[in-house]
């Protein structure tokens, strides 16, 4: 009897000792976890375990600018001091491994979002965006600046885009986004002589206790030929005639999402004639509006990096990974805000036969993760 009791005690002792060690190990690994994440410096960028064996063709007539611009910029920033052969090989490998065709069921689900018709005409779209009675939304005027044969495709693409936007982000966001859209050829003058003239901009400025956001475009930025050329040299991510507009809306939704949800009511509220139309002057008014810690632009880079197995502990490699998802020299050289806008256009405007695994990840980011993260 006494012996059995002793054995039982010993067993209990051993088990509790084991449990104690286990708990200690458990808490230790949680405590130390942050410092011990092994990040991949480089990755094979293999996306999805099952996918088509067919690749899409993204060959352009002359996309040398895509690579050379990436190089040039990389030497210029403080953050990126040295751009090695390994870095370039990494981008190339990623680009190559991401080009398998996207899952057709995902493409179909995406296209179904185009089907429902909130808007049938440009006037409907203008009506859907308008949030004040002082400033114009010159979408119809934009159409009329184009050659006659370009007008109908432009019109149709713009309406399809507006429907897609509303189906992803909702009518109320569409209506809150900007207080003015205008054609302004003067914005290009400031950069005459430069090859990369200003085509358009999105301005977000303080307006008393609220924020005022608007878009301006040159007529040149709306030409189908311009979009096509910029795509072919690798500078823009899509060849579609409305690519500049979609790019700017990308900035607009990024700015909107960055604002804390309770403060979004102040976005484009109190619009009065005193605010003025969308001019290129910089407004440096300080305004106390709460925002998320990470901007959508930086979140995109972190997300894409993580998707190929590179943790937040390796921001430089995450940046390289993000570049390989988005085929845009401009996006790669203009900072993460331009990358976000170019990725946004690539997501919404890539033709079905060019939708690859990189598009599928962009679709997950913009269509789900971004929306959920910023509570849109």
Q: List residues binding Zn ion (CB under 5 A).
A: 338, 341
For residue 248, give the 3-state DSSP assignment: helix
Q: How far apart are CB 200 and Zn ion at their closest, in Å?
A: 8
Q: How far apart are CB 251 and Zn ion at their closest, in Å?
A: 6
State residue 67 phi and psi, 5-degree precision: -80, -45
Residue closer to Zn ion (CB basis): 342 or 356: 342
Cβ partners under 8 Å of residue 72, min gap 6? 333
Residue closer to Zn ion (CB basis): 87 or 336: 336
Torsion of Cα atoms, 254 then 258 then 263 then 266, to 10°: -30
- Under a CB-based contact definition with an 8 Å cutoff, are residues 367 and 110 in contact? yes
Q: How many CB atoms lie within 10 A of CB 187?
A: 21
Residue 269 CB-density burial (10 A; 0-12 exposed, 13-18 middle, 19+ buried) = middle
Residue closer to Zn ion (CB basis): 129 or 246: 246
Residue closer to Zn ion (CB basis): 177 or 341: 341
Q: How far apart are CB 342 and Zn ion at their closest, in Å?
A: 8
Q: How far apart are CB 344 and Zn ion at their closest, in Å?
A: 10
- Under a CB-based contact definition with an 8 Å cutoff, are residues 357 and 100 in contact? yes
Give the nearest residue (CB) to Zn ion. Answer: 341
β-sheet with 180-183: strand ranges across: 180-183, 210-217, 200-207
Per DSSP bridges, beta strands 200-207 and 180-183 are: unpaired
Residue closer to Zn ion (CB basis): 250 or 305: 250
Q: How far apart are CB 338 and Zn ion at their closest, in Å?
A: 5
Q: How far apart are CB 166 and Zn ion at their closest, in Å?
A: 22
Q: How far apart are CB 302 and Zn ion at their closest, in Å?
A: 20
Q: How far apart are CB 247 and Zn ion at their closest, in Å?
A: 6
Residue closer to Zn ion (CB basis): 98 or 200: 200
Residue ranges of alpha helices (H) inside the chain are 2-36, 64-76, 85-97, 104-115, 122-129, 139-144, 148-169, 171-176, 224-232, 243-258, 296-307, 315-325, 329-333, 336-349, 357-364, 370-373
Residue closer to Zn ion (CB basis): 221 or 317: 221
Place of tokens 């600018």: 65
Dihedral sign from CA coordinates of 156, 110, 102, 331: positive
Residue closer to Zn ion (CB basis): 95 or 338: 338
Q: How far apart are CB 142 and Zn ion at their closest, in Å?
A: 17
Residue closer to Zn ion (CB basis): 94 or 252: 252
DSSP 153-169: HHHHHHHHHHHHHHHHH
State residue 41 phi and psi, 5-degree precision: -75, -45
Residue closer to Zn ion (CB basis): 100 or 323: 323
Q: Measured between alpha carbons, how far is 103 from 207 in angstroms, rounded to an integer?
A: 45
Q: How far apart are CB 341 and Zn ion at their closest, in Å?
A: 5
**What is the DSSP code (8-state) at residue 220?**
G
């Amino acid at each position: 009897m006494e012996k059995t009791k002793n054995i039982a005690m010993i067993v209990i002792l051993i088990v509790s000792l084991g449990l104690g060690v286990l708990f200690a190990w458990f808490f230790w690994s949680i405590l130390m976890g942050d410092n011990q994440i092994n990040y991949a410096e480089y990755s094979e960028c293999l996306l999805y375990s099952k996918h088509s064996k067919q690749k899409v063709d993204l060959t352009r007539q002359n996309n040398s600018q895509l690579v050379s611009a990436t190089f040039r910029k990389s030497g210029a920033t403080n953050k990126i001091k040295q751009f090695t052969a390994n870095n370039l090989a990494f981008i190339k490998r990623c680009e190559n491994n991401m080009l398998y065709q996207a899952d057709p069921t995902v493409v179909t689900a995406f296209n179904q979002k185009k089907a429902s018709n909130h808007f049938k005409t440009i006037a409907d779209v203008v009506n859907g965006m308008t949030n004040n009675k002082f400033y114009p939304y010159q979408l119809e005027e934009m159409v009329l600046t184009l050659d006659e044969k370009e007008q109908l495709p432009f019109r149709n693409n713009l309406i399809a885009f507006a429907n897609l936007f509303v189906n992803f982000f909702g009518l109320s966001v569409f209506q809150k986004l900007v207080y003015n859209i205008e054609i302004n050829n003067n914005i290009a003058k400031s950069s005459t002589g430069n090859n990369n003239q200003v085509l358009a901009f999105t301005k977000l400025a303080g307006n008393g206790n609220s924020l005022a956001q608007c878009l301006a475009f040159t007529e040149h930025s709306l030409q189908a030929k311009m979009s096509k050329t910029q795509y072919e040299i690798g500078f823009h991510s899509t060849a579609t005639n409305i690519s500049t507009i979609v790019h700017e809306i990308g900035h607009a939704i990024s700015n909107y999402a960055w604002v804390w949800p309770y403060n979004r009511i102040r976005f484009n509220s109190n619009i009065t004639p005193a605010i003025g139309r969308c001019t290129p002057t910089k407004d440096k008014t300080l305004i106390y509006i709460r925002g998320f810690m990470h901007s959508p632009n930086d979140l995109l880079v972190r997300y894409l990096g993580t998707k190929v197995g590179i943790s937040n502990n390796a921001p430089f490699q995450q940046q390289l990974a993000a570049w390989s998802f988005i085929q845009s020299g401009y996006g790669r050289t203009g900072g993460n805000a331009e990358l976000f806008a170019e990725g946004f256009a690539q997501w919404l405007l890539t033709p079905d036969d060019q939708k690859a695994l990189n598009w599928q990840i962009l679709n997950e980011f913009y269509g789900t993760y971004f929306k959920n993260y910023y509570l849109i």
